[in-house]
């Protein structure tokens, strides 16, 4: 299903057989969008669609937003515990300390 997040309308729906990857449906969805004369600005997807035609053959102007894998590091900090400040070239962590990086 492809839903227009700005206006809440479902623009296209695809059905795939259980023995095929979910991403094969994007060819049909892209065709539906083309017939509606709709151009995507952002594509919010899950990881199953990263290998799809819509991602691989996307225009440069299309922003892909995909949820990252969950990180589990046991008793150690996970990646989400750190923040990169690109302007100041610093990395910060949960302990509120900051360290420079190149």
Give pLDDT tens digits for 16-33.
889 988 889 998 898 999
pLDDT at 79 over 80: no
Q: Looking at the whole model, is its pTM more than 0.75?
A: no
DSSP 26: H
Higher-scoring residue by pLDDT: 97, 41: 41
Beta-carbon count within 10 A of 71 CB: 11
Beta-carbon count within 10 A of 30 CB: 19
Q: What are the backbone dihedrals phi and psi of residue 88, each rounded to the nearest 5 degrees, phi first?
A: -95, -5
Return all residues near 46 (Cβ < 8 A) that are at least 6 apart.
66, 67
pLDDT at 95 over 70: no
The partner residues of 12 in beta bridges, in order of sequence, read 2
């Amino acid at each position: 299903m492809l839903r227009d997040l700005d206006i809440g309308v479902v623009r296209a729906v695809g059905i795939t057989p259980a023995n095929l990857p979910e991403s094969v449906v994007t060819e049909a969805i892209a065709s539906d969008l083309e017939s509606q004369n709709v151009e995507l600005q952002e594509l919010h997807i899950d990881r199953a669609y990263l290998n799809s035609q819509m991602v691989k053959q996307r225009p440069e102007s299309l922003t892909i937003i995909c949820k990252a894998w969950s990180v589990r590091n046991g008793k150690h900090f996970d990646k989400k515990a750190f923040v990169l400040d690109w302007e100041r070239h610093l990395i910060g962590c949960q302990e509120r300390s900051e360290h420079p990086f190149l």
